[in-house]
Amino acid sequence: MKKKILIVILIITGLAVCVMGYFSGATKKQYQKEVSSALGLYSQSRPDILTEEDIAGLPGAVQKYIKYVGAIEKPKVWDFRAHMGGRMRNDDKSGWMSIDSVQYNFFDSPVRMFYINGKMFGIPAYGFHSYKNEEGIMRIKVLGLIPVVDQHGHEMNISDTTTILNDMCIFAPATLIDKRITWEQLDRLIVKATFTNGNNRVCATLYFNDNGELVNFVSDDRYRGYDKARWSTPIYAYKNFGDIRLPAQALAMWHFPDREFSYAEFVIEEVEYNVPVLK
């Protein structure tokens, strides 16, 4: 009898593992399908070279940043792939979830595909965060089965448009020549950027240091729930990714009247540009 019970338990456990494996893989397959589709929409012809003439109309601090990272006399950027590690949490009272993430961004018609593989209290969680056609969607499921995050709608669209601008600043400074960005010089090392993508229009203040590094990105156009809140991504380190020098460590922070806290800590492991195929 005990042997039969053990066999039943083993069968049920095996089936559960198979089901969880299927659903955990489904999230990644959806991400890969969307990335492959986006890759197919973009021309992979050799891009033009970014020159000093291209950046001449930008604020001085932005020009210096683009030169600092080494983007001048390199190919212009139509897409990038980034691999990051780190951790995330819901708020300052929640536990941290360790994450390993990969994202692709495309800039002709802004698209962002972000895949998260993480653990919440030791339990696997998988997420897919997409932005295309001016719309953002974020879904995270524990074990690939149980939804813990499902966000979409106007607030998400505006928030993700802000994230697109943030990605351009941090991962692909060469894209800051984009005509959808308008600039306002606030101080010698502080500029305001306004980015318009279709019906979505967002603003951010960029802070630079004397070395030419971007040190913070601050915006009031991100939503937490249904209310806007100040959002920032202070940068703590730079390193070389091939022949480009980029931010390597950053936080994502919320700022409220009564408190502020970081909800994400990222370590950028890899960045590559104009990627022709899914990796």
The rounded mean pLDDT for the chain is: 87
Are 127 and 24 in contact by the 8 Å Cβ rule? The answer is: no
Angle at Cα 132 formed by Cα 127 and Cα 137, nearest 5°? Answer: 35
Q: Which domains does the chain have, with CATH numbers?
A: 2-273 (2.50.20)
Residue tagged 């995270």 (tokens)? 140
**How many CB atoms are located within 10 Å of the residue 167 CB?**
21
pTM listed for this prediction: 0.88
Q: Is the pLDDT of residue 17 over 70?
A: no
Q: Is the pLDDT of residue 76 over 60?
A: yes
- Position with higher pLDDT, 247 vs 226: 247
Residue 3 has a pLDDT of 47
Residue tagged 């940043």 (tokens)? 65
Strand positions, DSSP E, 70-213: 79-88, 97-106, 111-120, 123-132, 135-142, 146-152, 181-187, 190-197, 200-208
d(CA 232, CA 215): 10
Helix (H, G, I), strand (E, B) or coil at 239: strand
| Buried/exposed 49-70: b ≥16 CB within 10 Å, e otherwise | ebeeebbeebbebbbbbbebbb
